């Protein structure tokens, strides 16, 4: 099996070969726009060559910082929101046991990674503080501007905690800032205080930043092999460089999504059968939704965590409105497995005794796929061979390059997010932020 396979065999009832051939000229144009920098948002496409053209010196500093964190901290608090944390969280979950234990001889081999600054809940923040307890910890604050509300609040809290625990000077050694190379509130503070700094590249938007320091430092601190992660992405960069749909499965995925969208399938569910893939779905939702959802257009990205969700909204998928299609992500060889015990019991499992849970899970996956196709739900399958850093890097690039093509096929700029600012303006107005006085009055009258 190749590193990643894309199975579209269950689409034959929904899309024919002629339709794929007809969209090829548009894919060719989209490829030119993406790779020659002639399309909208071209200034934010440096991620295309990132796996082979990343900053080697910074990469070495990331590895060194991860070792430093490992030696002096039992916990790493990662502060960021959106693209500043989703990719890292997806990778940390994907590469570790579900509960991120990573114990060795009764001691944690790598620091526990806790993500915060991604909401405005005081209850959540208090829970994080209790979880840290009296353990040694460090902080990686990730923000290009340093003024995004959610991470800025969290950073204030944990900066104060570090200073109270270690003192103002010693705490500076435990703060790692990933921010803009030249400007911004966090950059200014980091320069002034002497925090170790890593760069959010100008040409890489947040939702594409997992293979930069934004994702690499937390992943490395959690024990992830970031060299293999980049190697997998580099292999995908090479494999998905041809605009010919017959040779490029990432482009096939983009094309089929757009064909289905034009037929009225306006919601895509990314499906998994492994809890360690749940956060990958969260990363994917931002990648797809923020890239394509604009100008009154776009496929709505959602996720399904099976078989769990088959007992909740599975009925809707099977027999509800026929505006859904599914993309199943699965791993051929599980990271670990359990054999179902043989015993005398009245639980009806005699026919499964001695079989592995991965086998049962696979049959559940195949059976569900066929049932949903029979029910009128188009299905595609993205499958990787192993659940490791190399395959993860490869799959990340598969979805990134696909959404770049997909956005251009749908006539939108895949690399901006103008709608994200709307809620922020209203929030600032209601909070009484200076400069928003007129908006404050208008909004409070509406409420």
CA 205 to chain centre: 13
Q: Are 356 and 339 in contact (CB under 8 A)?
A: yes
One of 109, 424, 425, 437 is an active-site residue; which one? 424
Q: Where in the chain do CATH 3.40.50.10490 domains reside?
A: 4-39+230-410, 48-224
Residue 76, SS3 per DSSP: strand
Q: Give me the residue label for tokens 């705490």.
A: 171
Whole-number pLDDT of residue 440: 83
Q: Mean pLDDT across the stretch 200-222?
A: 97
Q: Is pLDDT larger for residue 98 or for residue 410?
A: 410
DSSP string, 128-153: HHHHHTTS-EEEEEE-SSS--HHHHH
Separation CA 92–CA 310 (nearest Å): 26
Q: What is the pLDDT of residue 102?
A: 47
- Ordered alpha helix ranges (H), 73-121: 86-95
pLDDT in tens, 224-256: 999 999 999 999 999 999 999 999 999 999 999
**What are the Cα distances from residue 378, in Å, to 9, 207, 280?**
10, 27, 21
Is the CB of residue 226 less than 8 Å from the CB of residue 62?
yes
Q: Is the per-residue pLDDT at 1 higher than 60?
A: no
Q: How far apart are CA 307 and CA 124, in angstroms?
A: 28
DSSP states of 218-285: HHHHTT--HHHHHHHHHHHHHHT----TTT-HHHHHHHHHHHHHHTT--EEEEEES-GGGHHHHHHHH
Q: What is the pLDDT of residues 5-49, one digit of tens each?
A: 999 999 999 999 999 999 999 999 999 999 999 999 999 999 999
At residue 142, φ and ψ (nearest 5 deg) are -125, 110
235's tokens: 């292999």
DSSP E strands in 45-193: the ranges are: 75-79, 103-104, 107-108, 112-116, 137-142, 175-179
For 327-361, give the DSSP string.
Answer: EEEEEEE-SS--BPPP---SSS-GGGTT-BHHHHH
pLDDT of 103 > 70? The answer is no
First to last CA, the chain: 58
pLDDT of residue 436: 86
**Per CATH, which fold does 48-224 belong to?**
Rossmann fold (3.40.50)
CA atoms within 13 A on the CB side of 401: 31
* Higher per-residue pLDDT: 425 or 377: 377
**Whether 172 is catalytic:** no
**β-sheet bridge partners, residue 198:** 178
Please give the backbone phi and psi of residue 187, each rounded to the nearest 5 degrees, phi first.
Answer: -60, -45
The answer regarding whether domain 4-39+230-410 maps to CATH 3.40.50.10490 reads yes
pLDDT at residue 105 in the model: 46
User: Is 327:271 a contact under the CB 8 Å cutoff?
Assistant: yes
CA distance 403 to 397: 10
Distance (Å, rounded) from C-alpha 16 to C-alpha 21?
9
**pLDDT value of residue 373:** 98
Per-residue pLDDT band for 106 (boundaries 50, 70, 90) equals low
- The whole-angstrom separation of Cα 347 and Cα 255 is 46
Residue 6 CB partners (closer than 8 Å, separation 6+): 249, 250, 252, 253, 380, 381, 382
Q: Catalytic site residue 292? A: no
- The whole-model pTM stands at 0.95
Choice among 197, 274, 290, 326 that is catalytic: 290
């Amino acid at each position: 099996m190749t590193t990643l396979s894309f199975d579209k065999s269950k689409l034959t009832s929904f899309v024919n070969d002629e339709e794929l051939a007809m969209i090829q000229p548009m894919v060719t144009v989209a490829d030119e726009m993406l790779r020659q920098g002639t399309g909208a948002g071209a200034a934010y496409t440096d991620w295309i060559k990132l796996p082979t053209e990343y900053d080697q010196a910074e990469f070495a500093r990331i590895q060194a910082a991860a070792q430093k964190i490992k030696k002096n901290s039992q916990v790493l608090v990662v502060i960021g929101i959106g693209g500043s944390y989703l990719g890292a969280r997806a990778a940390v979950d994907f590469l570790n046991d579900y509960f991120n234990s990573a114990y060795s001889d009764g001691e944690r081999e790598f620091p526990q990674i806790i993500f915060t600054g991604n909401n405005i809940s005081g209850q959540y923040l208090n829970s994080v503080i209790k979880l840290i307890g009296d353990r040694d910890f460090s902080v990686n604050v990730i923000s290009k501007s340093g003024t995004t509300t959610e991470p800025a609040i969290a950073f204030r809290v944990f900066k104060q905690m570090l200073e109270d625990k270690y003192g103002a000077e010693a705490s500076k050694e435990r703060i790692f800032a990933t921010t803009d190379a030249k400007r911004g509130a966090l950059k200014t503070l980091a320069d002034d205080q002497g925090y170790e700094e890593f760069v959010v590249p100008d040409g890489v938007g947040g939702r594409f930043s997992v293979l930069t320091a934004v994702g690499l430092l937390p992943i490395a601190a959690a024990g992830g092999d970031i060299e293999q992660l980049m190697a997998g992405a580099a292999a995908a960069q090479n494999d998905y460089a041809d605009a010919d749909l017959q040779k490029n499965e990432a482009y096939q995925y983009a094309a089929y999504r757009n064909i289905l969208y034009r037929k009225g399938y306006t919601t895509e569910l990314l499906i998994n059968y492994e809890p360690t893939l749940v956060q990958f779905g969260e990363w994917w939702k931002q990648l797809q939704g923020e890239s394509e959802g604009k100008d009154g257009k776009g496929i709505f990205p959602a996720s399904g965590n099976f078989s769990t969700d088959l007992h909740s909204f599975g009925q809707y998928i099977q027999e509800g409105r026929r505006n859904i299609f599914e993309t199943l992500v699965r791993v051929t060889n599980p990271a670990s497995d359990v054999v179902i015990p043989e015993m005398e019991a009245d639980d009806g499992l005699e026919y499964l005794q001695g079989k592995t849970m991965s086998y049962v899970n696979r049959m559940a996956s195949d059976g569900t796929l066929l049932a949903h196709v029979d029910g009128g739900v188009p299905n595609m399958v993205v499958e990787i061979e192993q659940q490791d850093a190399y395959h993860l890097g490869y799959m990340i690039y598969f979805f990134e390059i696909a959404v770049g093509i997909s956005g251009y096929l749908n006539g939108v700029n895949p690399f901006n997010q103008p709608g994200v600012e709307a809620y922020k303006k209203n929030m600032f107005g209601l909070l009484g932020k200076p400069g928003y006085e007129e908006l404050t009055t208008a909004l409070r009258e509406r409420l």
